[in-house]
Amino acid sequence: MDTATSKVVDTLRLDKEADRLMQDLAVMGDKGKVTASKLLEYVVGFAGELYKVPTSKRKPTWFKEVIDLAVGAMYKSDAISKRVNNAFHKAYELKEIANKGDAYPVILTVKNNDYVKCQSGDIPALTLDTETCMGFTVSAITAWTSKGAKDPKNSAYDKLGVARKGVVMPERKNIGEYRKGAKRDMKSALTKALKRKLGVPTNVKADTEPTKVRIPISIATIVKYRDKGISNGDTWSQAQTDMFEQGVALIEKSCNVFNKAK
C-alpha cells in the first residue's frame, strides 16, 4: 500500500451504518438503486486523491479504479475488513436460513470418534455457523491433521482432528466463496452508483483500447465466428461470401486510413 493510501486508511473511519448497507446489498442487491448510492458516500473517501481527479483527466476506467482502490484500502485495515466480512457473514446466514429454515446451522454431536448431526437428547459439540467455522485460525486447522495430532502418544493428539476438518472445511469454503461473490457484486454496484452520482450512463462499458486497435480486433473476431460457423455446417452462398469479404476489406481499409491520419 502506498503512503497516500496508508494515510487515508489511518485517518478515515467507516460509519457503522455502512455495515448494515453492505449486509443489505449482499442480501437484496441494489434495490431501487438506493443502497449502493448510500454506501458509496461512506466508502468513496477511501480512494484518497484519485477521487479528486478532475473530469478532464479521468480515463474511461477511472470509476472502477476509484472503487477498487477504496475497497482495497478498506481491506487493508484489519478492523474494517473484519466488519466487512461480518456483514457478509450475516448476509450468508440469512440466505441459508431462508433456504434451509431450521436446518441451518447444522449442529453436530460426537459419536464413535466422529461428528454426526444432533438428534433429540444429544449433547451439541460443534455448530457449523459462520462465527465458528471462520473463527478457526489456519494454524489451528493445520494442527488438526498434523502428525502429532494423529499419534495417541503425542501431547498434541486430537482424536477428532480429521473428523473436525472434514466437516468444517466444506462450510468454510462455502462461506469464503459467498464472501468473494458479495465483494465482487458490491464493487460492481458501487461503480455504477459512482457513475450515477456523476451523471455517467451505467450501461456504457469502459474500454481501455484505442479505436485504432479495437476495431481491427473486433473485425478479426467477427471473421473468426463466421469461419467457425462454416466449419460447423453453415451455408453461405457465393454472393454472401463476396459481400462479407468486401465489407471486411472496406472496414480494414478505413482503419488503415484512420491510423495514418493519426
Sequential DSSP letters for 222-236? HHHHHHHHHHTT---
Residue 120, domain member (yes or no) = yes
Instruction: Find the helix or strand (DSSP H, E) in which 177 lies.
Output: helix 161-197
Q: Are residues 11 and 85 in the same domain?
A: yes
Would you place residue 218 in the very low, low, confident or very high pLDDT band (cuts 50, 70, 90)? Answer: confident
Q: Are residues 241 and 220 in the same domain?
A: yes
248/190 Cα distance (integer angstroms): 39
Number of domains into which the chain is organized: 3
Residue-level pLDDT at 262: 46
Which residues make beta-bridge pairs with 109? 116
Residues in the chain, overall count: 262
Residue 205, domain member (yes or no) = no
Q: Are residues 162 and 222 in the same domain?
A: no
Residue 203, domain member (yes or no) = no
Residue-level pLDDT at 213: 57
Q: What's the whole-number mean pLDDT along residues 158-162?
A: 95
Would you place residue 147 in the very low, low, confident or very high pLDDT band (cuts 50, 70, 90)? Answer: very high
Q: Are residues 88 and 131 in the same domain?
A: no
Asked if pLDDT for residue 209 goes beyond 80, the answer is no
Residue-level pLDDT at 208: 47
Residue-level pLDDT at 260: 52
Q: What is the mean pLDDT of the chain?
A: 88
Q: Are residues 90 and 187 in the same domain?
A: yes
Q: Are residues 169 and 219 in the same domain?
A: no
Residue-level pLDDT at 97: 96
Residue 254, domain member (yes or no) = yes
CB 144 within 8 A of CB 162: yes
Asked if pLDDT for residue 9 goes beyond 70, the answer is no
| DSSP, res 208 | -
Residue 245, domain member (yes or no) = yes
Q: Are residues 140 and 13 in the same domain?
A: no
Q: Are residues 54 and 77 in the same domain?
A: yes
Domain extent at residue 153:
100-174
CB 164 within 8 A of CB 126: yes
Q: Are residues 78 and 92 in the same domain?
A: yes
Residue 153, domain member (yes or no) = yes
Using DSSP's 3-state secondary structure scheme, residue 95 falls into: helix
Would you place residue 255 in the very low, low, confident or very high pLDDT band (cuts 50, 70, 90)? Answer: confident
Q: Are residues 185 and 93 in the same domain?
A: yes
Q: What's the whole-number mean pLDDT along residues 167-181?
A: 97
Residue 202, domain member (yes or no) = no
Q: Are residues 131 and 245 in the same domain?
A: no
Would you place residue 96 in the very low, low, confident or very high pLDDT band (cuts 50, 70, 90)? Answer: very high
Residue type, 108: L
Q: Are residues 220 and 253 in the same domain?
A: yes
Residue 215, domain member (yes or no) = yes
Q: What's the 3-state SS for 131-164? A: HHHCCCCHHHHHHHCCCHHHCCCCCCCCCCHHHH
